[in-house]
Amino acid sequence: MRVILTALSIAGMLAAPAVAEPLRVATLLPSVADAVAKLPPSKAVLVATVRRNLHEPTPAGIIDLGTPHAPSLERLAEAQADLVVAEQRLHGTQADQLGAGKAELLLIDTSSIDATLGGLVQVAARADAAPEMEAQVAIARRSLETLRLAEPVPTLALFATPGAFLAVTDATWIGDLMGRLGFTSVAPAAPHGGAMPGYVPLSDETLAALRPELLLLLSHGDPARVQAEFMRRLEGGPWEGLRQSARRGVHVLDPVLFQSNPGLDIAAAGRALTALVSPNGDGAP
């Protein structure tokens, strides 16, 4: 009898369906890495990602792919991912290289809030976890809806590197977020294409004619150095009019929130922006 039961047990084990392995995800976008971490580990696991900034390595056990603008293709191949997620405007020209091997390549659009959140749902769907991500997205959307300003604020946001300043337009996730919250951009519209889609170089003459009430700086590099250079330019010369019109101040945005698209943490970026013009400094409209 014991032999018969053992045989039946073995037969049952052989007939049991195989447990699906979690989807192995590699991404060139920090926001996707954050989103994958919120999915059930039985459905998706992060195996490789880029650095959020040059001085912050990836977590232990996660392959370091370098930076979003110069990812390591060699290390990406080492990750043996099932899915590689990248940004369509930033990485589209590398599609053939990123999609080499067995991995599926998913290019998502992060130029707006809707596109960013929709892209995260696309990623989750590949792991059969779309409902879980849709719940997270719904929370982010509801949080954003509570942050809109009562009155519009004319704003100029600049992406700054030492020696160069580019206007942030509505064709970027930051510009789209600003518009949703009620920050009215005074920057001209961005031309299509270019090395940095959505960012516009402005001449001194163009800048001198702008009259924002609020000046925002997004620094690439040392924020203190960038701010010092910008403040120097505002003292006299063609940029002095910007300083005079910016009655709500000049602010350097927190690189942790604004150097890369925050994805599901978009409401945190929204609260940081609205806090700049809130009488209580708490982000309340």
Give the residue from 112, 136, 135, 107 showing the smallest Cα distance to 122.
107
86 to 39, 49, 69, 105, 144: CA distances (angstroms): 18, 10, 11, 8, 25
d(CA 229, CA 130): 45
Give the residue from 47, 28, 25, 29 showing the smallest Cα distance to 124.
25
The last residue of one of the domains, among 106, 124, 145, is: 145
In this model, does residue 173 exceed pLDDT 80? yes
166 to 76, 193, 207, 211: CA distances (angstroms): 31, 15, 11, 16
Hey, what are 229's tokens? Answer: 């250079």
Q: What is the CATH number of the domain that holds 35?
A: 3.40.50.1980
Specify whether the CB–CB gap between 177 and 269 falls below 8 A: yes
* pLDDT for position 7: 52
Q: Please tell me the number of Cα atoms within 13 Å of 45 on its side-chain side.
A: 13
Residues 227 and 243 in one domain: yes
In this model, does residue 117 exceed pLDDT 70? yes
* pLDDT for position 172: 92
pLDDT mean over 22-34: 96
Residues 128 and 71 in one domain: yes
The last residue of one of the domains, among 145, 170, 185, is: 145
d(CA 154, CA 164): 22
Residues 62 and 99 in one domain: yes
* pLDDT for position 15: 53
- Average pLDDT across the chain, whole number: 86
* pLDDT for position 282: 44
- What is this structure's pTM? 0.85
* pLDDT for position 56: 80
Sorted by sequence, the CB contacts under 8 Å of residue 141 that are 6+ apart come out as 117
Q: Is there a domain that residue 264 lies in? A: yes
Q: What domain range includes position 108?
A: 23-145
The last residue of one of the domains, among 145, 179, 202, is: 145
2 or 172: whose pLDDT is higher? 172
* pLDDT for position 269: 96
% of the chain residues with pLDDT over 90: 54
